[in-house]
Amino acid sequence: MNKKLNTVLFLLGATLFNVLTTLISLFGLLILFGIYFAPNMADEGRSWATIIIFLSSLAISFFAYRGVMKLILLKVDVEKYFDPIFVRRNMRKLSD
């Protein structure tokens, strides 16, 4: 496999990980909320809680993604296996 394919596969895997982490945390928080808090709340409180749960699941997935990416970047030599995503125009001219 070449660097470009490695980069594309890595980005697809990272995106899938991020989406799955968001969904798992969202449904997990919604289930916990439904079991422990929802029966005793008014309708307006439930709607606000749903918004807070959604934002919390985004925050959880952000920090999980960030932590996993830090671990991967520490263990893998990025320049050896991956092609840069963004290249400056003047740098491209120098390398050609």
Note the pTM of the prediction, 2 decimals. Answer: 0.76
CB 57 within 8 A of CB 26: yes
pLDDT of the residue at 42: 80
Burial of 54 (C-beta count, 10 Å sphere; 0-12/13-18/19+): middle
**Tokens describing residue 57:** 């699941």
Q: How far apart are CA 33 and CA 39, in angstroms?
A: 9
Amino acid occupying residue 84: P
Q: In angstroms, how far is CA 1 from the centroid of its own chain?
A: 25
- The per-residue pLDDT for 43 is 78
Per the prediction, the chain carries an average pLDDT of 86
Cβ density class 9-34: b for 16+ within 10 Å, e for less: ebeeeeeeebeebbeebbeebbeebe
Residues of the chain with pLDDT under 50: none
The pLDDT value given to residue 61: 96
